[in-house]
Structure 1
């Protein structure tokens, strides 16, 4: 091996083991855990619509700080500020994750051929996390930006957004992508940082959570569509 080759190899391995690479891994894991836990909570809060309009209304008032207002009504500014925070976390997470994305079409094709030739389940899980991450790069900011610019939430207001503003098209694509990406991500983080060595059991839990979360998400979306179809414009916010 000549000196030029040795130098290029030295640079290559140095970059792989650089302090920044280790730090980026920690940042990616930390932000991924934050976003995964947020998704678990978010889908369950949203699914309160399945218990009726009044149940969802009270959940929204509680989350928006209704306990701290004299009227008992929540403050939409809470949703706006929290949405901005989530957007910043998503940006940081995406920024450190992009370094692992195939940069060229040929690399994607090579990766796809490689995946077809192996039967390693964790490698296939990583591939689908990569694909869903690419989808979320375009869809997630749209949803979050909508919540920043229009933070009003309620049974009627949310149903108006879903049905009359046709946001169900976005959510129908976003829901499976974000659930699959998040659950595979939490699975990989748990293995990577040694939280468990039981791959088979953890993989089963991840699959159950994916099916469960997509199910309650779809049922919630259908509920909003049914409510929205019964509403007439202009929308009157729901009050028990």
Structure 2
């Protein structure tokens, strides 16, 4: 005769474990998609610097609501509020993702053995996503906090920050970590929620996008460095012709 036992939630790791796990999965995926799409837009907006200071200046004014002001100039508080919102999304994403992070030595050994014994592409992608996610918890937070505390953006001001304030060090570490993490993350979300079953083809697309965004972001960073090296200190905000 079978006996039905009721297992308390605390033995499963979380109160109402199954409900929490399902909700956390949805929050992790939704916040990850938001961050990934934001990255795609952000890198393209930043790359307007490749077309010159005037192009970047116009893009910044539009993004900061310059179309709705009498002067046509953007409002810095827009950058602050949006950066704060993205920081909150980042915290939600990190909190829901950390539950899958191996924290014990035995878990790391099991993961290492799994990666060595089983040649599974998705497991390797998850490993790289986990490592880059750990780095982004610090690097992306630093970038967003900087945008909240010092929201002034412009061709000269941004170039000064990159070159004279040595922000290029942060961006050089942040760029590969965030691109790799985001592209792998979007791939895994598409597979997890049944958007596609063609894993091999989608992995190739993700790899192509990683190379593309690394080249795009790297070119923008080099352009900022070159512009920053030509600026005199104290730097003056860019004034369009």
- Aligned mates of 1:168, 1:235 — CA distance in 2: 17
Structure-to-structure mapping, 1:41-60, within 5 angstroms: 41-60=41-60
Task: Give the C-alpha shift of residue 67 in structure 1.
Answer: 0.2
Comparing 133-142 and 219-228, the one that deviates more: 133-142
1:123 equivalent in structure 2: 123
| Residue in structure 2 matched with residue 219 of structure 1 by the alignment | 219
TM normalised by structure 2 equals: 0.93
CA offsets per residue over residues 43-91 of structure 1, 9 Å max, x none? 0000000011100000000000000000000011100000000000000
Q: Quick check: 2:66–2:75 contact (8 Å CA) kept in 1?
A: yes
Q: Which runs of 5+ in 2 are unaligned?
A: none
TM-superposed CA distance for 1:200, in Å, is: 1.1
Q: Is residue 74 of structure 2 the alignment partner of residue 74 of structure 1?
A: yes
Whether the aligned pair in 1 keeps the contact of 2:43 and 2:217 (CA below 8 Å) is: yes
Deviations 1:184-208 (A, max 9, x none): 0000000111111111111111111
CA shift, 1:14, in A, is 9.2
Shift of 1:134: 0.7
Alignment match, 1:40: 40
The whole-number CA distance in structure 1 between the counterparts of 2:42 and 2:129 is 20
**Greater share of helix:** 1
Counterpart of 1:18 in 2: which secondary structure? helix
CA separation in 1, counterparts of 2:205 and 2:80? 33
Deviation at 1:107, TM superposition (A): 2.7
Contact 1:84 1:148 in 2 (8 A): yes
Aligned-residue offset at 1:13: 9.5
Distance 2:96 2:80 in 1: 25
1:112 to partner: Cα distance: 2.4
Aligned length in residues: 237
* Runs of 4+, deviation exceeding 2 Å: 10-17, 104-110
Q: Do the aligned residues in 1 keep the contact of 2:14 with 2:20 (CA within 8 Å)?
A: no
TM-score, scaled to structure 1? 0.93
In 1: Cα distance, 2:71 partner to 2:15 partner? 57
1:33/1:186 contact within 8 Å kept: yes
- Pair 1:231-2:231 in alignment: yes
Structure 1 spans left out of the alignment, 5+ residues: none
